[in-house]
Structure 1
Amino acid sequence: MDNKTDLQDVTFLFRLKVDSIERLENILMVIDFISHHFDTNIYVLEAANYNNSIVRKLLPQKVSYHFVEDYDPILHQTKYINKAVENCRTPYLAVWDTDVIIDPGQIMMSVEWLRQDEADFVSPYKDKALDTTHIIRELYFKTRDLRILKDNKGKMKELYAPNPVGGGFFANRDKYVQSGIENEYFYGWGRADGERINRWKILGHRYKRVSGPLFHLTHGRGISSKFHSPRQDDIKFSEVLRIYTMSKGELEEEVKTWGDN
């Protein structure tokens, strides 16, 4: 495709633990979607107990790939986002989930706000996060036509209503680093999305949202895609509250300590 939109100043960052065939199919489809529409940079960090080279062989050659040996069955999302950001060399980045499709126009508006210095962080959707269902997912995979998703929104299930914030976001890299990047006290799935937005706002960063939906390519939910224990959920919620009650000065001192952990 010769008329791709230039996003060479952006890197899409993925972290991956292949816990199902659906997960593998989804990340390949999402990367295909991004690569079809944009001339951009894509970085995939895979964590697994050994490197079978399957993901590397299936990814397009232009995708940067990094493997980390990790025997933990739970993907420590925040830790690996931080590692990915360390390897990012572009002024802007997108932290992207393996299963997320968003209209190219919403993506472009997000990047333009960063380029024009109208925002430091942008969620590329606002209205709804919609789970595709297995049937619509299959139809999209067969056609690779975004209209399949747009025309069937009424048949999809809303995720995390009424104000979903997960799935992906764009950031000015320098401002993201200043904000502490990710809070590694969040281990596994859940709660970190809300915490980081609270943190950005407390620190005085500019956060905006683009109107339009997010489409989530459905998949089975293993231990890395749900709260893996009630105790862990309690710990995460306590951390959300701890950060939320801090002043700007307290939070600035807090994030300075995170790199020491």
Structure 2
Amino acid sequence: MAERTLPADLQVDLIFPQNDTTYAPTQWFPVVFGVKNLDAVWPMGISLSVYVIENEYSKIRRGPDWKYELASLNFANALNSTMPGEYFSHIAAVNMTNGTTSSYTVGWELDIRHRCFDNGTDRKEDGPWDGWSNSPNGHAHRAIKFHTAPGAQLPDIEATANSCLEPGVGYSTAVRVTKMGETHWKYPAETCPWLETDIKPSKCAFQPVAKELAANVSEVILSKMRCKEGSWQTITAPCPREKSTASSLYSVGVGLALSFVFALCNLLSI
């Protein structure tokens, strides 16, 4: 089990797609988050909710069933990560098989389930919820918009991570964990952090791992398309399913059985 290294700044960036950018539609379109210092603050109740909606639809033309995902960010992310050091990634994917020219919104929210306060209280005075969220006004998700159109630029995760944009409200957040305590109003007690919430996210936080991040995305998307190799940006259909050995043996067995029955019927008819 890893040991906390506090104080530490937990930073989460929506790396891809970028706001107000047009991309060529792909069969599976990735929504890529970078997470920094998760290992330094774990264990702690952290979740990341993500949704993608198509903006251009009407009652006549129903919008597609886009992804909504609530992911628990925990040490399993660190153990399963192929990213170096304190860097981790979370990758959601939207099935955009029929995507052509359209506009989309990505909304996301980072939540910490419980929070401790220096004055000895455990809850916010204005309500029963005792956690923290990066929501800009306490209710709405942070959001960006992007577009798709045939012939537009292909998604490039490595180039995007290397572009080193200034952290923005829609796609970057950071919070400093200074120390940890326990809730006393819940049984069993749960961990709760002391937080500094006026932290400015670091610029270029994920530039050092741009190549590894792109490789992670490629692995996830190719797996969803059942492909072992190729460029996920240009693959337009899932790769054929591989026939398992068991299925092949079953087919051979059925064929032999039918041959035996056919031969037996011929013998009985003589």
TM normalised by structure 1 equals: 0.26
Q: Which has the higher strand share?
A: 2
Q: If you compute each CA radius of gyration, which structure gives the higher value, 1 or 2?
A: 2
Higher fraction of helix: 1
User: Normalising to structure 2: TM-score of the pair?
Assistant: 0.26
